[in-house]
Amino acid sequence: MNAHYDGGMPRRSPEDRSPSQVDVARAAGVSAQTVSRVISGQSNVRPETARRVMTAVDAVGYRLHAAAASLASGRTRTLGVILVSSDRYSTSAILLGVESVAAESRYTVTTASVPHHSTPASFIEAFERLERQGCEGIVILAPVGYLAEALGTRTERTPTVGHRQADSMGIDALVDQRAIARAATEHLLELGHRSVWHVSGDDFWQESKARREEWEAVLREHGATPPPVLPGDWSPESGYRAGRTLAAIPDATAVFVSSDEMAFGVIRALHEAGRIVPDEVSVVSVDDIALAAYAAPALTTVGQPFEKVGRAAATRVIDMIEKREPSPVEPLHPQLIVRASTARPPAPST
Amino acid sequence: MNAHYDGGMPRRSPEDRSPSQVDVARAAGVSAQTVSRVISGQSNVRPETARRVMTAVDAVGYRLHAAAASLASGRTRTLGVILVSSDRYSTSAILLGVESVAAESRYTVTTASVPHHSTPASFIEAFERLERQGCEGIVILAPVGYLAEALGTRTERTPTVGHRQADSMGIDALVDQRAIARAATEHLLELGHRSVWHVSGDDFWQESKARREEWEAVLREHGATPPPVLPGDWSPESGYRAGRTLAAIPDATAVFVSSDEMAFGVIRALHEAGRIVPDEVSVVSVDDIALAAYAAPALTTVGQPFEKVGRAAATRVIDMIEKREPSPVEPLHPQLIVRASTARPPAPST
DNA sequence: CGCAAGTATGTTTGCGATAACATTACCGTG
DNA sequence: CACGGTAATGTTATCGCAAACATACTTGCG
């Protein structure tokens, strides 16, 4: 760690400075303020003048000095993204969505990764780092359950959006996690399974809880008693452990697994125990990662429109920052993709 | 797209301003400049004074105003990262590495994603966007072959790491891609296979080419003629297509696949064609993603230390920015992980 | 025609930090 | 003990831009 970040650098000499609005102004024969107005797209400028300024901008090769603009205006036009650096796939797709909206609105995106298995402290650290860096809004791609609580009033200072559900805690829901659980569970029930087991995600994550609750609710609606939850943590390993447990339960004919990656583990455990998927046990998971179609058997899974989620999240924070009415957002529906890991339950062997 | 990004915002009134170095100075009974010196860790300050200042910093809740510092010093302390938004999942691990080094050196990281299948133009666009935003250095997590060429002299203005530059600067050079190909190919040869086929990555990527060349070289060293390359693009789908081709070739008993994700596709195609992995065909791939151990069969693969790659890349750009001697970098060795997708070749069926 | 209400532009000031320069305090030495 | 040198601190100018305020120059309407 560099305790001292800078020994000081000499000021650049005036000649090699990059052109400023003053230079543009001179070239265009207007005042610097008018240049500023043209650059920031204000309206009270004659089109003819604006054109002259833009020509001068090109001529002298002017580029807005972000720091100066920020200092003068008190705005940084920066969005922060907190992402969990894990092997989970959704992240980069969401980030792409966030960035493209940000770029359209002339915002910059800075990121703060937290390691895969993180404590509340690392999220707080990341959040504060982004705040320190002057982010005007923050998108959290890891709405861990305790997050709203851990972050406390920080989210009041800085508009914050999470891409998944955090019930009314200021981090808004974008994709309906309950709909995911419902689609998955009902699919299995409709195939004729009497009950559905569940391998949950890390309890840490809010969405994990939402899915579990909805899975329970759906089972109850259909008159089934939810079996105990098999706890997972999103990793394939945890899926494998859950799968071993499950394999030992002859009655179990269907599982709803909270992520594709865990489903890989579950299926392997089942396979090793000699239980055939989907003939003996059906598996539905969530995410539709690229590999889902290449599992053996190919996974039936509930997909989420990740890039759109990112776009929606960014749109929302920007609305909050600029205190606008929330823009209409196209609904983000999860989608069940039926492949080969689900089937009708086996005929009772009696 | 918001053509006009700002209608103008009123200046904040003096009361709700966050504390500045002047406020700290007042509280500590020193000059603002001394506060600045303490904050930026310069040496000519009595320890006692520094302590008083730090106490005052805490007391008034001071935080450095990045934009102001940037304007005054002419430095932004910002690193840009260009990343290809794909399901490939090395990305987030590398990003984490970059960020942690950046944070240690008090740099900020901003990202520019480009879509999965991108033209040179989108890279240039991303690069220029980062330059416009004032990044002092750029890390490109997409060692695309043509990139050095496409970027041209831009990389002279802004220190850049990540593509081949003088053959020693690139990400691809941070981890020896040839060593990866060698480890994989020799492993198969040592098992007794006469020849090894190859499913390549996207030709677009520099590392893809390096691996292919080394695979050829190793085969030649062992007196084998390299069979034609089966072209892939990193996606599981492309692996599947290559796998179908491969399945139709009875002689083929071993493949080196340039990514785990493609290996999933290859194995599925082989399986569908009734060719058993590893009994009839051995498969080695690259990356060691979390799911590699949960493929059926578990993948033998060559792992890369992604996070360390990120750390090394960031360390290097920062060295370049600050015109220091390159810091010593711990060597980044790929590692062969033998699991269940490789075996001795089948006995000749004659 | 005269005056209010805009519209387009210019002038001045301030954002918060730091580089450059100025000053003071303190040291050892011939 | 006067002198030069260095370490610690203070003073001033400046970075590039946009807000606030000031000034021309339009337009519309009674």
- CB contacts, 8 Å: B268 with chain A: 294, 296
Q: What is the pLDDT at residue B44?
A: 81
Q: Which residues are registered as beta bridge partners of A111?
A: A81
In angstroms, the CA A284 to CA B52 distance is: 61
Residue A92: closest CA among chain B residues belongs to which residue? B85
pLDDT tens sequence across A87-142? 566 788 889 899 999 999 999 999 998 887 777 888 888 998 898 888 999 998 87
Is a pLDDT exceeding 70 seen at residue B143? no
DSSP reduced 3-state for B25: helix
Least confident segment among A31-35, A42-46, A184-188: A42-46
Average pLDDT over residues A276-290: 95
Q: Tell me which residues from 21 to 60 on chain B have a beta carbon below 7 angstroms from nucleic acid strand C.
A: 21-22, 32-33, 36, 39-40
- CB contacts, 8 Å: A41 with chain B: 3-6
* Nearest CA-CA distance, residue B224 and chain A, Å: 32
Question: Strand A300-303 vs strand A335-337: parallel, antiparallel, or unpaired?
Answer: antiparallel
Query: What is the band of A15 on the pLDDT scale with cuts at 50, 70, 90?
Result: low
In angstroms, the CA A89 to CA B342 distance is: 27
C16 C1' – A134 CA distance, angstroms? Answer: 14
C19 C1' – B49 CA distance, angstroms? Answer: 21
pLDDT tens sequence across B242-267? 999 999 999 999 999 999 999 999 99
pLDDT tens sequence across B217-226? 999 999 999 9
Q: What is the pLDDT at residue B89?
A: 64
B6 sits within 7 Å of strand D by its CB: yes
- Say if residues B209 and B144 touch (Cβ distance below 8 Å): no
pLDDT tens sequence across A141-183? 875 667 777 777 787 888 888 755 444 333 445 778 899 999 9
B2 with A104: Cβ contact below 8 A: yes
Is a pLDDT exceeding 80 seen at residue A1? no
Is a pLDDT exceeding 80 seen at residue A253? yes
- CB contacts, 8 Å: A70 with chain B: 67
| Start-to-end Cα distance in chain B | 68
pLDDT tens sequence across A176-233? 889 999 999 999 999 999 999 999 998 777 788 889 999 999 999 999 999 999 999 8
Residue A262: closest CA among chain B residues belongs to which residue? B291
As given in the structure block, the two tokens for residue B292 are 């590699």
Q: What is the pLDDT at residue B164?
A: 42
User: Domains, chain A, ranges and CATH?
Assistant: 19-62 (1.10.260.40), 78-175+306-321 (3.40.50.2300), 177-303 (3.40.50.2300)
Q: What is the share, in percent, of chain B residues with pLDDT greater than 90? A: 58
Residue A72: partners with Cβ closer than 8 Å, 6 or more residues away: none
Is a pLDDT exceeding 80 seen at residue B184? yes
Q: What is the pLDDT at residue A210?
A: 87
A109 with B108: Cβ contact below 8 A: no
Is a pLDDT exceeding 80 seen at residue A8? no
Secondary structure tally for chain B: helices H, strands E: 14, 9
Half-sphere exposure (Cβ direction) of B128: Cα atoms closer than 13 Å: 11
Give chain D positions with protein CB within 7 A.
7-12, 14-20
Q: Tell me which residues from 25 to 54 on chain A have a beta carbon below 7 angstroms from nucleic acid strand C.
A: 29-34, 37, 43-46, 48-49
CB pairs under 8 A between A and B: 180
Q: What is the pLDDT at residue A326?
A: 81
C7 C1' – A37 CA distance, angstroms? Answer: 14
Residue B107: closest CA among chain A residues belongs to which residue? A5
* Alpha carbon B43 to chain centroid, angstroms: 36
Radius of gyration of chain B (CA): 26
Angle separating helix axes A206-221 and A177-190, nearest 10 degrees: 40
Least confident segment among A295-304, A341-350, B163-172, B186-195: B163-172
Q: Which residue has the higher pLDDT, A30 or B150?
A: A30
- CB contacts, 8 Å: B1 with chain A: 104-105
D2 C1' – A48 CA distance, angstroms? Answer: 72
Query: What is the band of B42 on the pLDDT scale with cuts at 50, 70, 90?
Result: confident
Residue B291 one-letter amino acid: L
Query: What is the band of A81 on the pLDDT scale with cuts at 50, 70, 90?
Result: very high
Q: What is the pLDDT at residue A166?
A: 44
Query: What is the band of A252 on the pLDDT scale with cuts at 50, 70, 90?
Result: very high
Residue B298: closest CA among chain A residues belongs to which residue? A268
- What are the two backbone dihedrals, phi and then psi, of residue B332, each rounded to the nearest 5 degrees? -110, 90
pLDDT tens sequence across A233-251? 888 999 999 999 999 999 9
C2 C1' – A43 CA distance, angstroms? Answer: 29
Q: What are the angstrom distances between the C-alpha of B33 and each of A11, B52, B53?
A: 16, 14, 11
Secondary structure tally for chain A: helices H, strands E: 13, 9
Q: What is the pLDDT at residue A242?
A: 98
Is a pLDDT exceeding 80 seen at residue B116? no
| Nucleotide nearest residue B9, measured CA to C1' | D19
Say whether the peptide bond before residue B278 is cis (omega within 30 degrees of 0): yes
Query: What is the band of A272 on the pLDDT scale with cuts at 50, 70, 90?
Result: very high
Of A65, A83, A264, Cβ closest to residue B291: A264
Average pLDDT over residues A249-278: 96
